Amino acid sequence: MERKHYELTAILKPEGGPEAIRQFAERVDAIVNDFGGKIVSLHSWGERKLAYEIKKNLKGHYLLFDIIGNGKMVEEVERNFNIWEVVLKFMSVRVDKVENLDEMLESAKGIASLFEKQEKKSSPDQAYEDGRNGFEDARKYNEELQKSLSNAGEEEEDVTL
């Protein structure tokens, strides 16, 4: 089957915190890998107010996956999203924009490496010892992370899918 670029957006129940999001992303990654696909990137938009109540929830945590794979892989991910109770809503879209999928695949490092990168950046001592980012860069990253976490709880925008 032909590989294509897909964007999967999922709204998760707000409880659980970062560890629940990591577990969810790892489950999605396992399904994608089983079908020979690859997750190129994962973006967390944080917790936002929903436009209307969904399954007795007024807020949800938004995640966006950029995935390269085939249609059967997307069908299996969607089937699992329907089963998992943590998923409030989801939407998958095939990206029609002409892209070089081989370059995207080469740049993709999977979910585990994406989370490792965040963990390394979040530790100022480790970043300083490694000499990668220096103490200032790690401190800036921590400040931005704190802002985004506090803003995620404060933002009261209506978001619909």
Model pLDDT for residues 71-124, shown as the tens digit of each residue:
899 999 999 999 999 999 999 999 887 677 767 666 666 666 556 655 555 544
In terms of pLDDT, which residue wins out, 128 or 47? 47
Give the residue extent of every domain in the chain: 4-109, 123-155
pLDDT of residue 91: 95
Q: Quote the percentage of the chain above a pLDDT of 90.
A: 39
Extract the tokens encoding 39.
């997750």
| pTM for this predicted structure | 0.65
- Is the separation of the CB atoms in 39 and 107 below 8 Å? no
Q: Above 80 in pLDDT, residue 10?
A: yes
State how far the Cα of 109 lies from the Cα of 116, in Å rounded to an integer: 11
pLDDT of residue 135: 54
pLDDT of residue 74: 93
Fold of 4-109: Alpha-Beta Plaits (3.30.70)
